[in-house]
Structure 1
Amino acid sequence: MAKPCQRFKLLLALTLLLGLLVNWAFASTAEEGLANRREQLLATMIEEYLKLTDYELVQSKALVQSVLADEEVQRTRSDLMEAERRIMENFVRQVVDKEQEEPPARSNIANRLFYLIAKSLIYQEFEAILRRHDTTNPRRKFSPENYLIERALKRNGLDDLQRRVTRKQIKFMSDFVKDVDAYLAQLTPQERRTDEVEAQKNGGVVS
């Protein structure tokens, strides 16, 4: 099933990076040219992270829809299964609603960031579905419905989805590191010192 620890580490790293970039981009002490480059770096990361999140949502929605249509899931009638169906249907509905929503303009970095966060929170609901039916967890007792849904997830492509998403996540992090390196390479010594001071104020490190 899922590897929530790895996913949690990725999300934690991204949250810290986003927080650092937001503080950098809008630091009142930054010179105009430096602030503009910071904003450009932040905007680039938001757009790339949005692409990753959109991919995750599209793929996870398709998987959950397949599970809902799965023959074994459909013919199982119980209160618990009905509750699980409602949870999965609600996830699909949220993804569809977000797909139909008009996104903020790219030039509005703050609203674009909130839009990204909202999408990320929806994807976390998919991950909660996976955790709930991960029967390898030794600290929980599982119902027959848990085992059934886990089988349906695997039968409909969960393992392949996780491999593809992991590859996308790794590429995103690799590309972001390259973007940060390119940003740092164009700084003057004075700008580099300013960045180091801002990073230390916000708990980050510029290497």
Structure 2
Amino acid sequence: MRLLLVEDETELADSLATGLRREGYLVDVATDGARALSLAAQNEVDVIVLDRDLPQLSGDAVCRTLVAQQYPARILMLTAAGTLDDRVAGLDLGADDYLAKPFAYLELLARIRALGRRSPSTAVVLEHSGVRIDGSRRIAERDGHPVQLTIKEFGVLEILLSAGGGWVSADELLDAVWDEPLERTRGVVKIVVHTLRRKLGPPGVIQSAPGYGYRMGES
């Protein structure tokens, strides 16, 4: 499941993104409203965690824009203002849920899971050349046989399948799947792809090419 985290407090954004990625989510991060709309246009996400108090373009404006565009993601609005009137105002904007700061991380996870179950795109199963994943249940298969993958391996495979046969660079995989600074090297991507190929088994379906990256080919 892919999340868009929109939070202008960089330390909080980094901390939440790290935790969510460790839970197995693909996480895009924006620190302002304009960037949030840009990322939403680039990638269809399942749940948007949206800070209401953003600089320049507010969370309210972002929410209104996404609702007007009939963007399919569920929106969880975060704010330091937690009165009843504030919650009602946020929901009236079109948000699906509302969480006041400070909040418990476990509650945030529970609300994301609940919204994810209601998001139309989480039901999409990705499949290519006998490789099949169900992102909502975190199940991977090859020719009908289950494949046990680590969080990083599943994340890489999900990105490659989402690309529909297009090339995905190592840097793009790093941005989508990794958050740990010490691990963010192209070498670690190569290692994960190597183990992913081994687990998927023959015939090989993940192609690579210098200068292009990786893609799902025909088996």
Query: If the length of structure 2 is used for normalisation, what is the TM-score?
Result: 0.26
The structure with the greater share of residues assigned to strand is 2
Relative contact order, CA 8 A, sep 6+: which one is greater? 1
Q: Which has the higher helix share?
A: 1
Larger radius of gyration: 1
